[in-house]
A and B are shown apart, each in its own frame.
Chain A
Amino acid sequence: MDRSQFGQIVQQHKDRIHTYAVWMLKDFDAAGDIAQESLARLWQHRGEIHNGAARTWLMRTTHRLCVDRLRRRTTRAEVSFDDLVRPPADAESGPPAMAERDEAKTAVLEALAKLSPRDRAVVLMREYDGMSYEEMAATLGVPLSALKTTLYRARRRLKEALNGTGVTP
């Protein structure tokens, strides 16, 4: 991987890993720090990683850094999910359907925030990022069967947490 190829990989994946970190941590500063660290580590280890593996390697590194950050976090610098997804001001007086969608969105994000980091990670990887089972298993370093068990259990917990918000699908 030379500098030009690294630049291309950065352009392709920087927003993806940053977004993942934001949704995992709910903390813009920490997410930016982790995205930088992941990319810097990719550059440092470029001799060991072929270009085709960079996507999974970056996601795995970002995920591990996020989990580590969550474990070490003593003070919560989180922003509200509402702040992350708040619609533009001129959309706030939109039709009732939009209000319902916003209500559902808030409920889902609140439920997501109640999950453990690992459960939140698998749900985000699958539902937001659209990763395949195989890619998720490689990213998390677990067998495919264990990945399915984790994902299915995480969704059940998400459904339970969603019940607690009082919003019905």
Chain B
Amino acid sequence: MMPRESAIAMTCDAAQDAIQARRDGELPAVETNRLDAHLNACGECREFDAALETVGNVLRSLPAVPMPGDALAKVWERAERARLSGPASIHRLLSWPTAAVAAALLFVVLVGPLALRPQEPQFSDAQVAQAASEAEYVLALTGRVLARVEQETFEQVIGEHVSPALERIPIRLP
């Protein structure tokens, strides 16, 4: 161990930081000579440098561990389950405004022309209630249609894009 302050003006602590910085490509060029001078004089820091070399070589040679193929299908299952059950799901929150806008547009298209015709009689309370009921039905139906389209798209992605690719992924354990 070198003294904490030596003639070459680099302590072992500073040298071991500099060793790591150099291995990471982060050591300023001006520090290189000071570090090399320290290493020439300090066996402990040379050993530290060599140990990091071994560690780096070992860890960089570790094999990748591919994600099992069936796991990806479970990703979709899990995402869908969260979408359906999550009370605060953003996805779910976004779906209903969309459905509401679609229903409102349908309502305007269907009911609007009737309302604009001056010769039409005034609607009774029962008719208004029925129209409101029908609008609610359209709203619910639109929501279901959107959910169905989403589900079909979901299945299409799984069936046509993700799964075949997964089948080509070699599953091997190291």
Interface of A toward B, CB cutoff 8 Å: 3-4, 7, 10-11, 14-19, 22-23, 28, 31-32, 35-37, 39-40, 43-45, 47-48, 84-86, 104-105, 108-109, 112, 123-124, 126-128, 130, 133, 151-152, 155-156, 158-159, 162, 168-169
Contact = CB atoms under 8 A, between A and B. Distances in A.
Nearest to B17: A152
Interface of B: 16-17, 20, 24, 26, 47-48, 50-68, 71-72, 74-76, 78-79, 82-83, 86, 89-91, 94, 153-154, 157, 161-162, 165, 174
B57 to A, nearest CB: 8
A152 B16 contact: yes
B26 A133 contact: yes
Contact of A108 (B54, B79, B161): B54
Does more than half of chain A's interface fall in helix, strand or loop, or is it mixed? helix
B21 to A, nearest CB: 8
Contact of A40 (B26, B75, B161, B162): B75
Does more than half of chain B's interface fall in helix, strand or loop, or is it mixed? helix
B20 A15 contact: no
Nearest to A45: B90
A128 B55 CA distance: 10
Contacts of B71: 14, 18, 32, 35-36
A22, A109, A152, A169: residue with the most chain B Cβ atoms closer than 10 Å = A169
Contacts of B83: 44
Contacts of B47: 168-169
29 contacts: A3-B153, A14-B67, A14-B72, A15-B67, A16-B64, A17-B67, A18-B71, A19-B65, A23-B62, A32-B68, A35-B71, A36-B72, A43-B79, A44-B82, A44-B90, A44-B91, A85-B62, A85-B63, A85-B174, A104-B54, A104-B57, A105-B61, A108-B55, A108-B59, A126-B24, A130-B60, A152-B20, A159-B52, A168-B47
